Amino acid sequence: MGEGIDHLVNAEISGRGVIGGLYAAARRTQDGPLCLEAASRLLETVRKGDVVVLATGWPTPPWFAGEQDGPVGAATLARALVLGIGARPVIVTDPANVDICAAAIRGAGLYVRSIDDALRLPTTTAVVPFPLEWDEAEVRTQRLLETLHPAALIAVERPGANEHRQYHSAGGKNLTDHCAKIDSLFAAARAQGILTIGIGDGGNEIGAAAIRDAVLRVVPNSGRCTCPCGGMVVPVVETDLLITGVVSNWGAYGIEAALALLLGRPEVLHSRAVDARVYDLCAAAGANNDGPGLLDPGADAISGPLHGHLVDLLGCLVQNGIDFGKMYRNPPYF
């Protein structure tokens, strides 16, 4: 069933032609299915009441507004962590993407309040703007780690800086001035032994450093950007686990499905109705469907209803995995 989850979320329907190579490379870094391994590690590491930090938000030129890929997956995964483990999610993002992320979180059925409230109230999260400057980011990193004591950090479609501390789009355009320097948070957390997970679809996200050679081989123009820095598009910050999806949101959905499967609780994976609501509210808050650049619900030029179909397929897989697993362990006909 873990293989089935990976196959669904990495099915090449985008036309980019890179996910097969990225998935194969990520798979070589782990012993088994990616989403199942991430879910297993989260269940081993995170206890009820523990904080999980989710980083997301991607400024898309020329507006440098956020896109729906990332905030939607972070919101639904936050919901799954609340329902499945009783975790307390905290979202970190760019200052310009706070409203987008808050809308997505509310769409997923969670309250958005202050950090203090998120640490004491159920079904509540906080959305925290992270600094755009590296020096400030280092200070904020230490403050957050000391305040939150997170059990895990998860980046969902979050840009990562290259060897020159520059951020780039998949096409090599420079995004640095608009990106919060969240890399410092992941680097410091990993150095402290805190579980870190990166979810991406193009090789320029936090965590993709683990498959740098594959990114350079399969992603066009990833070896040299189009800005004056002249560096790679591949980030330098690694994560303990790297999860790929043809859409990054789908990688988050895959972890949700694996959590639901391992817990034997189908409701941990969000429903099609919740998926539609998250996309609708995220778009209404100003997040675009990257590709056409429109404020239509959806991500990576895939319309909202098609994302809902994937949720249905994952839900069917989870339910069958639970039901048939029980049947074959205790066959009713013997």
pLDDT digits (tens, 9 = 90+) for 141-157: 999 999 999 999 999 99
What phi, psi does 90 have (nearest 5°)? -130, 130
- pTM score, whole prediction: 0.96
| Helices of type H across 49-133 | 71-85, 98-107, 115-120
Mean pLDDT lowest for which of 65-69, 100-104, 199-203, 330-334?
330-334
- For Cα atoms 138, 43, 80, give the angle at the middle one, nearest 5 degrees: 80
Mean pLDDT lowest for which of 27-41, 136-150, 219-233, 234-248?
219-233
pLDDT surpasses 70 at 274: yes
State the greatest distance between any 2 C-alpha atoms of the chain, in Å, as a whole number. 71
Q: What is the tens place of the pLDDT at every residue in 277-329?
A: 999 999 999 999 987 889 999 999 999 999 999 999 999 999 999 988 666 66
Cα–Cα distance, 91 to 126 (Å, whole number): 6
Q: What is the tens place of the pLDDT at every residue in 249-267?
A: 999 999 999 999 999 999 9
pLDDT surpasses 90 at 226: no
Is the four-CA dihedral 121, 125, 129, 135 of positive or negative sign?
Answer: positive
pLDDT surpasses 90 at 202: yes
Instruction: Tell me the domain boundaries of the chain.
Output: 2-329
Of residues 31 and 127, more confidence is placed in 127
Order of strands across the sheet that contains 152-156: 111-112, 124-129, 88-93, 51-56, 152-156, 195-200, 241-244
Strands 88-93, 298-299: pairing is unpaired
pLDDT surpasses 60 at 334: no
Question: 2-329: which CATH number, 3.40.718.10, 3.90.1640.20, 3.40.190.170, 3.40.50.300?
Answer: 3.90.1640.20
Beta-strand ranges (E) seen in 64-219 are: 65-66, 88-93, 111-112, 124-129, 152-156, 195-200
Q: Which of 182, 324, 205, 312 is nearest to 253 (CA)?
A: 312
| Mean pLDDT in residue range 42-47 | 98
Q: For 86, which DSSP code?
A: -
pLDDT surpasses 80 at 54: yes
Share above pLDDT 90 across residues of the chain, in percent, rounded to a whole number: 90
Q: Which of 160, 247, 263, 161 is nearest to 206 (CA)?
A: 160
pLDDT surpasses 70 at 109: yes
Is 173 in a helix, a strand, or coil?
coil
Terminal-to-terminal C-alpha distance of the chain: 25
